[in-house]
């Protein structure tokens, strides 16, 4: 990490974090995660700080995720990083979820993976015309994490299962419709948000006053087939239900599913169904269990190779088809890791 990867600015009791790795779409490195965690903890204890605002810097992303290239390289080069990274990232997400002060996330660009963890769990989520939200992890042999086990099942109907399995991308209007964003405020007014808050403005009043109508959400007209198909009892049943639909959007969803890791999809289905009945902390512990098994397996590294390293877009998943994924294969991803479950620093 360089000193410019994260920028911290405090004035009039309002602290602003700017993610500043535009060439990497503000992807979070382990050092960035440690630095942000330490700073947020300091501000939480500082009575002079009344609120925190997190935003992206220049470029097209708020934060496009974690540094998965480093995780890929860690399989051969840095033993222990795959454990350390997920521990640190999930503890940061836990801190954001439980943050004792208002936490305003300006989701000003691409929001994926790790970027979801440091935005969606905040107390106030602002989307804009540049926002593009997705949880595309099944496409690289991973699973929707950073607290997705908690928030995806709590979206309306079966939207969470649809988003988690397909990696479907949402723009601002759909984010507001789905409950992922609280306010739509054009990016040109984001500096005004900070200025008004530093001038003593009330957060809720300020955000509501600057908020505009996000537009018509395309998701609204797709809810019938999404809820019908993605409410099925298994991934195979979801595929079967989508096969019976005539609309192009459902066909596109099935096409997307065919490119995903079969094992990743089966893990995700169980993960999201389980998370619906769990509290946030339990969801994070479950995700840590899954993450450690994934890092010890094949599909994640093969997915990163195919989509990011070699870019041939031809991952060879193991197993290669859904019907070959057994319940026992899935169950082992939910077992406690040998090093023990994730713990949280509550100080």
Task: Please report, for residues 97, 228, 305, 330, the alpha-carbon distance to residue 15 in angstroms, rounded to integers and kept in the order given.
Answer: 17, 44, 38, 43
Backbone angles phi and psi of 158, in degrees to 5: -110, 20
Instruction: From the candidates 137, 182, 287, 299, give the one annotated as an active-site residue.
Output: 137
Instruction: From the candidates 145, 174, 182, 287, give the one annotated as an active-site residue.
Output: 145
Indicate the Cα dihedral angle 45, 112, 177, 214, nearest 10°. Answer: 90
Residue 2 exposed, middle or buried by CB count within 10 Å (0-12, 13-18, 19+) = exposed
Residue 137 appears among annotated catalytic residues:
yes
CB-based contact 165:134 (threshold 8 Å): no
Instruction: From the candidates 56, 59, 65, 66, give the one annotated as an active-site residue.
Output: 66
How far is it, in rounded angstroms, from Cα 344 to Cα 280?
Answer: 12
Residue 264 appears among annotated catalytic residues:
no
Instruction: From the candidates 113, 114, 160, 164, give the one annotated as an active-site residue.
Output: 114
Residue 316 appears among annotated catalytic residues:
no
Backbone angles phi and psi of 20, in degrees to 5: -140, 55
Residue 114 appears among annotated catalytic residues:
yes
Take residue 9 and report the two structure tokens written for it: 């600015």
How far is it, in rounded angstroms, from Cα 1 to Cα 318?
Answer: 34
Task: Please report, for residues 69, 83, 117, 121, 337, the alpha-carbon distance to residue 342 in angstroms, rounded to integers and kept in the order given.
Answer: 23, 10, 16, 18, 9
Question: Annotated active-site positions, please?
Answer: 66, 114, 137, 145
């Amino acid at each position: 990490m360089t000193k410019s990867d994260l920028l911290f600015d405090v004035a009039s009791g309002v602290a602003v974090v700017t993610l500043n790795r535009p060439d990497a779409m503000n992807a979070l490195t382990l050092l960035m995660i440690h630095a942000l965690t330490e700073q947020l903890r300091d501000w939480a204890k500082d009575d002079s700080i009344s609120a925190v605002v997190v935003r992206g810097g220049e470029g097209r992303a708020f934060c496009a995720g974690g540094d998965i290239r480093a995780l890929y390289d860690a399989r051969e080069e840095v033993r222990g990083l795959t454990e350390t990274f997920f521990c640190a990232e999930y503890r940061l997400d836990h801190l954001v979820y439980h943050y004792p002060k208002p936490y305003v996330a300006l989701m000003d660009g691409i929001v994926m993976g790790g970027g979801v963890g440091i935005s969606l769990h905040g107390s106030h989520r602002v989307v804009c015309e540049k926002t593009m939200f997705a949880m595309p992890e099944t496409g690289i042999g991973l699973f929707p994490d950073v607290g997705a086990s908690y928030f995806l099942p709590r979206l309306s109907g079966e939207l969470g299962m649809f988003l988690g399995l397909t990696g479907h991308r949402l723009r601002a209007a759909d984010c507001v419709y789905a409950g992922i964003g609280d306010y739509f405020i054009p990016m040109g007014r984001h500096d005004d948000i900070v200025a008004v808050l530093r001038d003593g403005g009330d957060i809720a009043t300020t955000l509501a006053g600057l908020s505009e109508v996000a537009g018509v959400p395309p998701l609204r007209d797709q809810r019938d087939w999404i809820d019908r198909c993605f409410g099925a009892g298994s991934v195979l049943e979801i595929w079967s239900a989508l096969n019976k639909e005539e609309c192009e959007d459902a066909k596109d969803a099935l096409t997307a599913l065919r490119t995903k890791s079969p094992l990743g999809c089966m893990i995700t289905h169980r993960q999201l169904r389980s998370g619906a009945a769990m509290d946030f902390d339990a969801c994070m512990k479950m995700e840590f269990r899954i993450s450690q098994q994934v890092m010890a397996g094949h599909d994640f590294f093969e997915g990163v190779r195919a989509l990011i390293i070699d870019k041939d877009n031809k991952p060879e998943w193991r197993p290669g088809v859904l019907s070959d994924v057994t319940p026992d294969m899935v169950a082992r991803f939910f077992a406690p890791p040998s090093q023990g479950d994730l713990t949280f620093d509550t100080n």
